[in-house]
Amino acid sequence: MSCKVLFQYRLPMDGFDELPSDFELFVPIDDTFPGDEFLKHLSTADILVSVFGQKVTKEMMLQAPNLKLIANYGVGYDNIDIACASELGIMVTNTPNPVTEPTAELAMGLMLAVARNIAGFNNDLRVGKVPRWTVLNNLTTTLYGKTLGIIGMGAIGRALARRALSFGMNIIYHNRKRLDDLVEQKYNASYTDLETLLRNADIVSLNLPGSTETHHMIGASEFKIMKPQAILINTARGVVIDEQALIKALINKEIAGAGLDVFENEPSIPEELLKMPNVVVTPHVGSATHETRAEMSRLVASIITRFYAGEKSIPIVNKDVLSGDGFRGKTFY
């Protein structure tokens, strides 16, 4: 059996050398394939390795009659039309575990960078704009003893809670589903509704997927109820925040600052945000470490092998595909 694996974007090749020799890999030389080369390959591909920022649309799937598996390189899968994949009998998987710790690490880093003005001092010192040691200048905000409100208490939210606990912070959280008592106790985290969280948190961290349900979840009315000293951290998806409302809230001092790794229209970042000294921005690097990128690749390679072995324990996003008559992986499952 030969199998054509198409990469939508150039990735580290860790783990792919372990695929059987009849697996043919089609990887772009640059970041993506030029012109319509990708679509030509897609028309005969068995497996697509997709990534954030590159859409996998209904039109594309309709042109791929052999496509059985879309193995997404990343935890978020808002780039893929999942309902259509299920309808066409295509399984979609993601890579949740590898991205958990590094994304929580970055969220913690952004919290520190904004609260303690690390990025601002670093910039200012280099251009001689900041007084050196003084007592009454250069004052920032202590995280110890502050309340962190985590919106989205999945794996990344919990990994962030673990870190924040070691910093002596109080944890409140909001989630679609309240966690079990034992899990709440483990993270010393209290459940609140969204409004209570926004009213009480000194730092608000977004750790939930981007979807139609979470689109603009934080907008003008949410900023109005947040504390004026609050800091907003987003390592999830840009669309969760109404970016124009955020800019206004920062200008009007409705909140004190923001640490942002993701933006509404990536890769573009509004000029206003880039100019604000109380905003720290990073270019969507939550999972961008050498270790994690390699681990994500190894996981995708192993998912492909395990798909052909009919394993149900792989991270399947659209489990409903398994029970559908038209599931294209039926011969293995």
The CA distance from 61 to 133, in Å, is 60
SS3 category, 297? helix
> Which residue among 284, 293, 298, 328 is the active-site one?
284
Stretch that binds ligand 8YV, among 16-24, 136-144, 280-288, 310-318 (CB under 6 A): 280-288
Q: Which is nearer to ligand 8YV, 150 or 249 (CB)?
A: 150
Q: How many residues bind ligand 8YV (CB under 6 A)?
A: 10
Any alpha helices (H) in 188-289, and if so which ranges?
A: 194-200, 220-225, 243-251, 271-275
Q: Which is nearer to ligand 8YV, 74 or 120 (CB)?
A: 74
Shortest spacing between CB 235 and ligand 8YV, in angstroms: 8
One-letter amino acid of 205:
S
Look up 290 and say whether it is catalytic.
Answer: no
CA distance from start to end of the chain: 16
The CA distance from 262 to 237, in Å, is 6
Contact between 22 and 3 (Cβ < 8 Å): yes
| Near ligand 8YV by CB under 6 A: residue from 52, 187, 263, 307 | 52
SS3 category, 151? strand
Look up 293 and say whether it is catalytic.
Answer: no
The CA distance from 198 to 192, in Å, is 9
In the block, tokens 């390679």 appear at 301
Shortest spacing between CB 93 and ligand 8YV, in angstroms: 13
Find the binding residues for ligand 8YV in span 62-91 (CB under 6 A).
73-76
Stretch that binds ligand 8YV, among 128-136, 180-188, 217-225, 279-287 (CB under 6 A): 279-287
| Near ligand 8YV by CB under 6 A: residue from 5, 99, 104, 164 | 99
Stretch that binds ligand 8YV, among 57-65, 110-118, 249-257, 282-290 (CB under 6 A): 282-290
The CA distance from 35 to 37, in Å, is 6
The CA distance from 226 to 223, in Å, is 5
The CA distance from 229 to 256, in Å, is 5
How many CA atoms lie less than 13 Å away from 139 in the CB half-sphere? Answer: 3
Residue 284, interface with ligand 8YV (CB under 6 A)?
yes
Shortest spacing between CB 212 and ligand 8YV, in angstroms: 17
| Near ligand 8YV by CB under 6 A: residue from 51, 218, 258, 300 | 51
Look up 284 and say whether it is catalytic.
Answer: yes
Q: Which is nearer to ligand 8YV, 72 or 147 (CB)?
A: 72
Residue 286, interface with ligand 8YV (CB under 6 A)?
yes
Binding site for ligand 8YV (CB under 6 A): 51-52, 73-76, 99, 284, 286-287
